[in-house]
Each structure stands twice: as structure tokens, then as C-alpha cells.
């Protein structure tokens, strides 16, 4: 996975769907944070972009998957200010605030999967999953 590739493809996909500039910027920022976490903390991994259409709105689902060490305490990792590296501790929590839907599945020793969804118009009621 390459950060520049992720940003470029997310920007292109968001433009195709009809995201406005502000929505594109939010989604690209979230994607950059999550891709960086996958590379730095997960030792690399995969990014997937899927187009969505629920009949009322079109959107994108971005998934970031790694086989790294996992996150032992997800709630703590989502707390602003917490960092396992040298950053500001805003990555996961900041990404969660920038999207309509956010889910994370991580187990120590088994890796992490983070999926986010953004809708271009008329988003359905946001929901969160933490496992």
C-alpha cells in the first residue's frame, strides 16, 4: 500500500460519486490517517475502495486491513491524545469524526480491519461498531 496511491484513488472515486470539495477533503484526510496507521502500526496491508448505492444516496466504503500486532484496547486507541507512537494521538478518533460510519475489528496478534463509509448525499443514520 502507498499513501499517495490511496489519496489519489479516494479523491478520484469521491469525485466520480459527486462528493463536494469539503466532503472529499474529509474522506481523503480520514483515508490518509487510516492508511498511515496500517503502514506504520500494522506493518503494511491492503486498502479497498467500494462504491455504494442504497437507493437514496451514493457513497464509498474504504477498508484498511493489516496482519500486524492488533490493538489491545480499542476504546483507549480511539481516545484523543492516546498514541502508541510519536504522533498527536488524533488518527483513529479523528478519522471516526470525519466519516458517517466507522467500524473497527482488532485482536492482539491477529491484525486490524477498519472500515469507513461516507455518503455523498442524504446519509442514512450513522452507526458505529466496535468489536
Cα 88 to chain centroid distance, Å, stands at 17
3-class secondary structure, 122: coil
101-118 pLDDT, tens digit each: 999 999 999 999 999 999
- The sheet carrying 58-66 orders its strands as 46-53, 58-66, 111-119, 101-107, 128-130
- Cα separation, 31 vs 63, in Å, equals 9
Q: Please write the tens of the pLDDT for every residue from 47-89.
A: 999 999 988 899 999 999 999 999 988 888 888 766 665 554 4
Rounded to whole angstroms, the Cα distance separating 101 from 85 reads 25
CA pair distance 48, 79, nearest whole angstrom: 25
**What pTM was estimated for this model as a whole?**
0.85
Amino acid at each position: 500500500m502507498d499513501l499517495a496511491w490511496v489519496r489519489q484513488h479516494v479523491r478520484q472515486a469521491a469525485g466520480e460519486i459527486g462528493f463536494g470539495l469539503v466532503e472529499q477533503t474529509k474522506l481523503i484526510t480520514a483515508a490518509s490517517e487510516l492508511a498511515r496507521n496500517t503502514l506504520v502500526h500494522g506493518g503494511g496491508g491492503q486498502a479497498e475502495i467500494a462504491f455504494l448505492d442504497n437507493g437514496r444516496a451514493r457513497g464509498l466504503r474504504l477498508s484498511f486491513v493489516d496482519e500486524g500486532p492488533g490493538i489491545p484496547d480499542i476504546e483507549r486507541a480511539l481516545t484523543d491524545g492516546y498514541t502508541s507512537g510519536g504522533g498527536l494521538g488524533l488518527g483513529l478518533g479523528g478519522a471516526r469524526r470525519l466519516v458517517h460510519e466507522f467500524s473497527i475489528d482488532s485482536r492482539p496478534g491477529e491484525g486490524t480491519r477498519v472500515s469507513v463509509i461516507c455518503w455523498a448525499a442524504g446519509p442514512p443514520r450513522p452507526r458505529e461498531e466496535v468489536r
